[in-house]
Chains A and B, each alone.
Chain A
Amino acid sequence: MKLRAGVRDRLSTVRFVTDDESHIEVNQEVAKATGAAAILVAVCPAKVYSIRPDGSVGCEFAACLECGTCLAVAPEGSLTWHYPRGGFGVEYRQG
């Protein structure tokens, strides 16, 4: 059954047109000072964020589903986020 295969497998059902420039930027210093990493990792339904071995925030922007959740809860100054350029990013076929 394809239902419980986890986020990675589920993300493979989504079509993306990947831009070469990222639409997400983490301010590592602010993130470190505010503990943003744990929040970002937990809230994102696409598992875009990770904590790197050195404690900094990893960000795999290409998997972003563009919901805006991370931006809404990120500690002030830790994240710059905008929509990808027109025509790039997620392309739902059902929605």
Chain B
Amino acid sequence: MSGQDSYDFDVAVVGAGPAGSVAAHQLAGAGHDVVLIERGSEPGSKNLSGGVLYGRALEAVFPDYLDDAPVERRITRNVVTFLNRGSRVAIDYSDDRLADPTNAVTVLRAKLDPWLAGRAEEAGAMLMPGVRVDAPLLDGSSRVIGVKAGEDELRTRVVVAADGVNSFLARAAGFRPAPEPHQLAVGVKAVVDLPAATIEERFGVAPGLGAAHAIVGDCTLGIGGGGFLYTNRESLSLGVVLRLDDLVKRGLESTEVFEHFLAHPGVAPFLEGGEVSEYGCHLVAEGGQAMMGRLAVDGMVLVGDAAGLTINSGLTVRGMDLAVGSGSVAATVVHDALEAGDTSLAALGRYEQALRDSWVGQDMATYAKAPAFLEEPRMYDGYGTLLADVLHGVFDLDTRPRRRLWRTALDTVRHSPLRTRDLVSDVWKGVRSL
């Protein structure tokens, strides 16, 4: 190894999303020389999400985040809707306990990310915006010794790849394969402006509080994925998430599915009178644990979306909290490695175990079967209709004598195109994967 002087920084963190900014904050706070490199001219300018941040992980790093960070609303109402062509069935869950302590908040990334990066700067990290890293800098034995950006090379002891779902850093040196289309989904989103009072009235929430709607079924024209409709202070974040293999297989246009969602009778009334103030799209890592692969190589660790850390349980999309959690775990391991003067794979490889032992790894393991379960097309077509048919049997009182609920349900199943065997097996798989 070369001497101390030949390093520009102890650590280069590539990507100022939640994973990168948290890792940079922790490492700079521990006294290391950290550069935080971001390709956008400002942190957040390239980033987009649905926007429900499960905040406990962030609170562990920044106990004051609820008062200080640009958060939109505290989510106390969660609605899951099966949207069919002529019917809808919803589970509507509100709970005061979700407000105290605050469990989840909505955020807009172009506002949150600059705040996070600012915190990393306050801790001593040097933010370098408007710089695209092209590849890791490798020595003769494929050890990562820094990063390359255009003509420039930065030499560092450790690189933290926090460069998101497309992580070219992880791909560049063949450390990880490019994800498969079934492990990715494209999110197509709009922010629709509405007055706060209108939002509170339509979504049945008090000022400052908010609702998160997850929608499956006809709103994506049956494509694997779903819709989301979240409340911000004075706008809604809404859109569809479409699994790429299914989108391609069905030959539908992503924009056409998005139009269909906006105009859907189950969605449109919420948007009435609103104006689109921004449109956008971004990939979601959907592969779950199977997509994680290698998280450390000689001289480099992977965090957040770059490591495939997203959980889509069908009810919640989580990635920002896992990004924060993994950034934090990685920082601990990198800190120990720097202190011990050994940043080889032997030392950095401890990150994999540390992550597995943390709540991040445990949640990834708990939901390991969810992606395969959610690839089942019946989720997006059959079940919503089946539920509606059962309820139709209960509520459509047409003077014929009623039967008990379970008989109605059994009959509905028997007459539906779904096979009882599939239904039983799906319920069983659902219980085991979610």
Contacts and interface: CB of A to CB of B under 8 A. Distances in A.
Interface of A: 1-7, 10-11, 13-14, 17, 38-39, 41-47, 65-69, 71-73, 82-87, 89-95
Interface string B168-195: 1000000000110100101010111000
B44 A68 contact: no
Contacts of A3: 192, 262, 271, 274-276
Given A72-B184, A87-B130, A45 B276 contact: no
Given A1-B273, A95-B108, A69 B41 contact: no
Main secondary structure, interface of B, reads: mixed
B271 A92 contact: no
Given A83-B132, A86-B41, 12 more contacts: A4-B259, A14-B279, A42-B247, A43-B247, A45-B258, A73-B244, A87-B39, A92-B46, A92-B47, A93-B110, A94-B277, A95-B278
B278 A92 contact: yes
B263 interface: yes
Contact of B279 (A10, A41, A44): A10
B46 A72 contact: no
B283 A72 contact: yes
B353 to A, nearest CB: 30
B255 A2 contact: no
A69 B280 CA distance: 13
Given A3-B192, A14-B279, A83-B168, A43 B108 contact: no
A94 B41 contact: no
Contacts, number: 146
Contacts of A71: 166
29 contacts: A2-B275, A2-B276, A3-B276, A4-B262, A10-B190, A10-B276, A14-B279, A39-B248, A42-B252, A43-B247, A66-B46, A68-B283, A69-B184, A69-B244, A69-B254, A72-B179, A72-B184, A72-B283, A83-B39, A86-B39, A86-B41, A87-B39, A91-B45, A92-B48, A93-B278, A94-B277, A94-B278, A95-B44, A95-B278
Nearest to B252: A42
A72 to B, nearest CB: 5
A36 to B, nearest CB: 11
Contacts of B60: none
B241 to A, nearest CB: 12
B49 interface: yes
B206 interface: no
B253 interface: yes
A72 B181 contact: yes
Given A73-B181, A95-B109, A86 B131 contact: yes
A86 B186 contact: no
A68 B253 contact: no
Contact of A94 (B108, B165, B263): B108
Contact of B248 (A42, A89, A91): A42
B29 interface: no
A73 B184 CA distance: 10
B281 interface: yes
Nearest to A68: B166
A39 B244 CA distance: 11
A87 B278 contact: no
